[in-house]
Structure 1
């Protein structure tokens, strides 16, 4: 009994710490109301969601058929922005399918990467609708479709950004899931986010940081820059969660453009690394740049430069094969001692 009581006590402590203010509004809205809000720009689809427009015509047709038949469609989940617009959190495929089907707004179709209205295909129950577009239907049937209800749940502005990140992460159920950085790009939009995107495109960075083809357009490059900034200027406050650490740094700095001094230091560091690693910073047979290795090398190099060290690129190249550095930059080494240890190890090695 004592063991059970202790477990429940620990559970209650975790609930008290982790439970956050989550405030929702729920609406039963018609297809027309949702479509009009989307067409008028009152529902925002973040650019990061563009990768999720992957449903083919058959999958989209199945959803439209479900709406016609009155089969419950999963709720759309939105978050309220500061200007009172809504931002899609979960349901981008369903929202874009409705817009694709109604198809009377060319700008809206372009925004969801569609060239024309949806022609229904391979329906099993409403077979007479096959090869038909919305505009082909009698007005009465169009009205029936437009007045069908869909449940919409909206996270209102009483909930903080940390809650919004958790919800984006947990409710993001599209065909292609967002990465953590794409979620940050949605939530912490602002001058700092713009700076990360801009500086991740400099040539020296692209020379040094080699990513998988699948990571080339999903925010991974911006996350590497964020890791450099967060660790260089805040590594002493790192605890144990990389995701939370990066979230907090982005949250605090979201409205601030990257200061010129920090941008200049980043470019200086990457210029040195590009000379040392003209074929990319990697280890062994791999051509991909490990995040932990990039953090250690880039931040340690920056700290050494700040102390007036003239960086020896040959030492940098040799450092990648160093057995001690390898030990503290492999998987499972993201605790405070290891993070601080590898940054200081590189700094002191170069001094």
Structure 2
């Protein structure tokens, strides 16, 4: 056992190499402006601080308070790719008027709000504007630029996937980022075109309209979470599903594998996805994944994940057969699921126990 642990530790240490560096805010700004550090603008859609949170960070630098480090991946060219610390770095850059969006256009500079220890910061900006807003005094500008932030660097000899592993671990287990938000950023880091493909799928009208979600679920990117589950779990064997130790890690690993697959037929997958949800929405509208009240003959209540796993993935797996049998047959088959309480048995179970029931049920029920 000791030898195994020693060898595992050695292998992991060889795959990971890190360094530390303390840099001034002025250096950080110059590095970004000079193209030496990449802050992926697409990430900004997932992590959004309020102006108060941003202003409090600026106040912390001015007061000399400690700020958590940022993490970067150093490419062989020497350029840095920001892995963790998006909000801190974006706030700094926006405050000084240097932050750019995905199109390369400058984002509106930050106007500070009132803070706890320096309430007079309210309304202050970095650069003068025609609006004659209050400009931060030069002495405070100098203090801000000289303030320092620690940088943790993942070095080039690290395994390629180490930056994804690092990002994942830094943003799960107590972070405010949801698992779906973390996964989206992992995908963006791996292949922006693959993420754009997913974004196109997730906006398909039948998919959106057949799954009414709360505002909070929408804001936390839960719809793309459902898309990822649909794409990955369709081809997961029952045995594998039952043995998944942590579903979020499993989905992260599998979607990154999919993003890395040069032979992936995106058109075929997209066509199957759209046909599945077009079919379900045309028959059941918003009730596709809601419980069927037999007495009322209507689908009621909230969206049910177990119903989604049985119906959406089961229909997709047997799509040719379902289409051949027709709408009346499909409506009757789904009615039977609720009459016999087949889906109900899976509601509330842990992911591995639930998937061990929902995946085989969907595959067999729509054959």
Distance between the aligned counterparts of 2:43 and 2:99, measured in 1? 21
3-state DSSP of counterpart to 2:22 = strand
Find out whether 1:52 has 2:47 as its counterpart: yes
Q: Which runs of 5+ in 2 are unaligned?
A: 128-134, 293-298
What is the CA RMSD across the aligned residues, in angstroms? 4.0
User: Which residue matches 1:5?
Assistant: none
User: Which residue matches 2:38?
Assistant: 43
User: Which residue matches 1:224?
Assistant: 226
User: Which residue matches 2:296?
Assistant: none
3-state DSSP of counterpart to 2:351 = coil
Find out whether 1:345 has 2:361 as its counterpart: yes
Is this contact kept in 1: 2:306–2:343, CA < 8 A? no
Distance between the aligned counterparts of 1:273 and 1:19, measured in 2? 47
Distance between the aligned counterparts of 1:120 and 1:97, measured in 2? 13
Find out whether 1:102 has 2:99 as its counterpart: no
User: Which residue matches 2:349?
Assistant: 332
Distance between the aligned counterparts of 2:325 and 2:151, measured in 1? 59
Shift of 1:144: 3.8
User: Which residue matches 2:253?
Assistant: 248
Q: Which runs of 5+ in 1 are unaligned?
A: 1-7
3-state DSSP of counterpart to 2:325 = coil
| CA distances 1:39-86 after superposition (whole Å, capped 9, x unpaired) | 4452314534435332334x4444334323433322122344687654
User: Which residue matches 2:305?
Assistant: 291
Is this contact kept in 1: 2:41–2:102, CA < 8 A? no
Is this contact kept in 1: 2:73–2:154, CA < 8 A? yes
Find out whether 1:92 has 2:86 as its counterpart: yes
Q: Which moved more, 1:21-30 or 1:339-348?
A: 339-348
The within-5 A match list for 1:1-351 is 21-41=15-35, 42-57=37-52, 59-80=53-74, 85-103=79-97, 105=98, 107=100, 115-119=108-112, 121-122=114-115, 124=117, 132-135=124-127, 136=135, 139=138, 141-160=140-159, 163-172=162-171, 177-189=176-188, 190=191, 191-236=193-238, 237-238=240-241, 239-240=243-244, 241-255=246-260, 256=262, 258-280=265-287, 281-283=289-291, 287-307=301-321, 309-311=324-326, 312-335=329-352, 339-351=355-367
Q: CA 1:81–1:211 in 2, change beyond 3 Å: closer, same or farther?
A: farther
TM norm structure 1: 0.78
Shift of 1:34: 0.9
Is this contact kept in 1: 2:283–2:331, CA < 8 A? yes
